[in-house]
Structure 1
Amino acid sequence: MLNARIKLRHLQAFLEVARQRSFGRAAERLAITQPGISKTIRELEEALDASLFERTPKGVALTQAGLTLLRHAGPAIRALEEGVAAIGEGRTTASWLKVGALSTVESRLLPEAILRWQAATVGECGVNVVTGPSAFLLSRLRRGELDLVVGRMTEAREILDLAYEHLFYERLVLMVRRGHPLADVTALEPATLVRYPWVLPPPQTTLRQQVDSFFVRHGLEVPARRLETLSLPLSRGYVMGSDAVWVAPEEAARDAAAMGTLCELSLALEERGGSVGLCTNASLAPSLALERFCETLRGMAADVS
């Protein structure tokens, strides 16, 4: 039985502090004073007889007890929100999804899946898409703030206690602009590539792990002249206006390659590619809208395969 001393405001305050890693920022988001949120967290810790946060040079961090509560409190609050929303949906027949998207699916898979799902859905339907690194998106999924995450993420440590479903494999490819000095070189040596700028995924992302492994295998240093970003438009624009080499998801580069504005280099970054799939929080019962959207993704994956 839930401790009667624990109120909804306690859990909301706890989740916001865990999200912001700061009492001050959490207080601002909740529109209360910092002493007020500190008092609320203290009341929760007293009710649980456990310390939930510890102070660090970078703010506050969750204790083991805090991590345990986070694993359950986030989905619980989300389930309550879904229950309230379901009552409204029963009156309005509206469907709403919150989807985390990695850069590997932004160009083709996700836009087409949303269009197909909306075309097959009766009544109002909308999708809120959040982009970012896998660690950020999977953390939000664990807290119940997203319905699912789509993309290449199996290497992320945050995926361990979530449900992952493989859809298809996709390679990272090395792309350059048309007319680049290396565009027509058929026997390309890895050492030649470091003479040029690179466009790379940021450090500590799952895609960057594959790039770093490539450089280690060939005994090379990551080029000092580089742009680190997950933004596909920024990457494409930078490469089109320079001699940079872009580490691109195959899907993101397909259209530009077909039009001849970008060329894939002859040297393979990886042979098979990584698993692109969908990740859900198994502790949350999926809505009918989510089940139908996942089925749409599965059908599209079958076409890709």
Structure 2
Amino acid sequence: MIDRRIKFRHIQSFIEIARAKRLKHAAEKLHLTQPAISKTLKELEEIVDAPLMRRDRSGVELTKAGQVFLHFAQMSLASLQQGLDGVERTGRKEKEKLTIGALPSVAAWLMPKVVKEFRELAPDAILQIIDGPHIYLVDRLRLGELDMVIGRLGRPKTMQGISFTQLYNEQVEFVVRPGHPLLKNPNLSRIGDWQVIYPPEGSAIRPLVDRFLIANGIGEIPNRLETVSGAFGRVYTRETDAIWIISRGVVANEIADGRLIRLPINTELTQGPVGLMTRPDVSENSIQQIFRIAVQNVILGL
């Protein structure tokens, strides 16, 4: 039986601290003082009779017990949010709404096709698409803020508590503007001669790119700009001599119409699975099942 001393504020504060990694940032997000949120965390640890977080000057870190508690706390909060949303929709007799998270490569290449298919299958549904980096989307999925996510399979640590259904494989490309000097002699060892737009830490493709460069004898690239922003990368790469390392789906349209040029480098080593992510503890409703069918129909037609 759940200890009646555990209140909603305990769960909410604990999850926000774990996400923010700092008591101060979590307190600001919840509009609390730092002493108040610290007291709430201490109360929770006393109730469960276990230390859930270690605190030092660099921030907070989950203990083993904290990692276990976080997993179920997130599921509980997400289930409560879904219940509240369901009651609100019933009272207002609203249309069914589906919120999908998509990595930039998926948002740029696959999602337009999926949306067209979905509109034919469920013309009255309201579809919301949110793009962003892998960790951001997976965290939103765990909290119930997203119904599904389409993106690359992340590291095991980031995929805990997430169900992944593979759709296809995608690899990373090195792209430049038309007329770039490197196109005359496309030698991978020369990429350090120019600025490189590089995937940041925490992005799904970062470990793949790191391993690929190490395997090809390329050390750390000092002149690099880290981002997975497709909007920025498309403009900046066309207007400068920067080399953009990015998932193929993000730049598929630009490569097809010649606005960006793929360097003739074999990047098969960077291939990774892209799939549909859901929460295994939540049963899919009818509109989610229809979206899954739309995705499968598009994949079969590629």
- Per the TM alignment, residue 154 of structure 1 is displaced from its structure 2 partner at its CA by 4.0
Query: How far apart, in 2, do the equivalents of 1:24 and 1:198 lie?
Result: 35
CA-based RMSD of the aligned residues comes to: 2.4
Distance 1:29 1:119, change over 3 A: farther
Residue 111 of structure 2 is matched in structure 1 by 110
Query: How far apart, in 2, do the equivalents of 1:17 and 1:208 lie?
Result: 26
- In structure 2, which of residues 183, 193, 200 is the aligned counterpart of residue 195 of structure 1? 193
Write the deviation string for residues 153-208 of structure 1: whole angstroms up to 9, x where unpaired: 244531144211100112212211111223355xx432233323222211343312
Question: What are the ranges of 5 or more consecutive residues in structure 1 without an aligned counterpart?
Answer: none
- In structure 1, which of residues 209, 234, 241 is the aligned counterpart of residue 232 of structure 2? 234
Q: Secondary structure, in 3 states, of the residue corresponding to 2:183?
A: coil
Moved more, 49-58 or 225-234: 49-58
Corresponding position: 1:94 with 2:95: yes
What pairs up with 1:1-305 in 2 under 5 angstroms? 1-91=1-91, 92-121=93-122, 123=124, 125-132=126-133, 134-155=134-155, 157-183=157-183, 185=185, 188-270=186-268, 273-304=271-302
User: Contact (CA 8 Å) 2:109, 2:252: kept in 1 or not?
Assistant: no
Q: In the alignment, residue 96 of structure 2 is paired with which amino acid?
A: S
- Per the TM alignment, residue 96 of structure 1 is displaced from its structure 2 partner at its CA by 2.9
Distance 1:271 1:21, change over 3 A: closer
Write the deviation string for residues 74-95 of structure 1: whole angstroms up to 9, x where unpaired: 1112112211211232342333
Query: How far apart, in 1, do the equivalents of 2:184 and 2:219 lie?
Result: 24
- Per the TM alignment, residue 271 of structure 1 is displaced from its structure 2 partner at its CA by 5.6
Write the deviation string for residues 246-297 of structure 1: whole angstroms up to 9, x where unpaired: 2232222222122222211222222672211111121223333322222222
User: Contact (CA 8 Å) 1:170, 1:275: kept in 2 or not?
Assistant: yes
Question: What are the ranges of 5 or more consecutive residues in structure 2 without an aligned counterpart?
Answer: none
TM-score by length of 2: 0.88
Identity of aligned residues (%): 31
TM-score by length of 1: 0.88
Write the deviation string for residues 3-61 of structure 1: whole angstroms up to 9, x where unpaired: 12222222222222222223333233223333333333233222222222220222222
User: Contact (CA 8 Å) 1:154, 1:275: kept in 2 or not?
Assistant: no
Query: How far apart, in 1, do the equivalents of 2:231 and 2:172 lie?
Result: 17
